[in-house]
Amino acid sequence: MPELLKMYLIICPLIFLGSFVDSVAGGGGLITLPAYMMAGVPVHFAAGTNKVVAGCGAATATVKYFRSGKMRIRPALGAAVGALIGGYIGAEIAKLLSDGLLKGLMLVALPVVAVFLVLKKDFGQETGEKVYSPRYEAGVSVAIGLFIGCYDGMIGPGTGTFMIMCFTALLGMDMVTASGCSKVGNLASNVAAAASFIVGGKVMWILVVPAAVCSMIGGYCGSRYAIRGGSKKIRGMIFIVLGMMFAKMIYDLWMG
């Protein structure tokens, strides 16, 4: 029992923090997945438990964004469909490419994204959303889900972050609405992955309930923070997530 209590004390605060970050700007898995491994959970069980728990946080954040009117349903659902397909394709591609090559590509991409945000200070600010034809909106949203879902299947970290930026750049959304739409895509990929891990028996259920509660609270608080703080708060959080991703990639390449 003391060992289980120790695991709870390590995991629960970090799950709250990861879910908070994820509901604002994506990238929460950079915090939550290592939390399970720090507590001594085997890597496959850590991944499975993380997906089940993260789904609870994503669902809570999705409801909060929806109820606040900070979500566009058609693009969100289109991205969710694309993400389900893209996630499978990405996982298949990952089997053919070396891990080092994928991480090397990310080391180039992340600084480019950060420089873009620094130079384009008005990116994603609430200046009035553009109106697009239903056909364009549907096609672009599915494509966003497909390509970012493919990235999720190949590499994973920061999927929600990149989805937010795509919604903002390609569909003219402010960052708050883009964050709300990205939650639906994240929720779809989490549900699909969680189902796979559950069927495979790779979920540590004794951790799920307390971790899920923390994830749901973090998801609620994070989405509330983003909705009240606007694009400026999300923009700042994206820089933090990009920095964490860059540091993790360098660490993995150095240790690998």
Confidence at residue 14, expressed as pLDDT on a 0 to 100 scale: 93
For the chain, the C-alpha Rg in angstroms (whole number) is 17
Give me the tens of pLDDT residue by residue for the chain, a chain 256 residues long: 578 888 999 999 999 999 999 898 888 888 888 899 889 888 888 888 988 998 899 999 999 999 998 899 999 999 999 988 888 887 777 667 665 666 666 666 666 666 666 666 665 565 555 678 889 999 999 999 998 888 777 766 678 888 888 999 899 888 899 999 999 988 887 788 788 888 888 899 999 999 999 999 999 999 999 998 877 788 788 888 878 777 777 777 677 6
Q: How far, in Å, CA of 28 to CA of 75, rounded?
A: 22
Q: Which residues contact 155 (CB under 8 A, 6 or more apart)?
A: 94, 102, 103, 106
Confidence at residue 155, expressed as pLDDT on a 0 to 100 scale: 67
**Ramachandran region of residue 164, left (φ > 0), alpha (ψ -120 to 50) or beta?**
alpha
Confidence at residue 89, expressed as pLDDT on a 0 to 100 scale: 84
Confidence at residue 104, expressed as pLDDT on a 0 to 100 scale: 67
- The answer to whether the CB of 52 falls within 8 A of the CB of 198 is yes
Is 248 exposed, middle or buried, given 0-12, 13-18 or 19+ CB atoms closer than 10 A?
middle
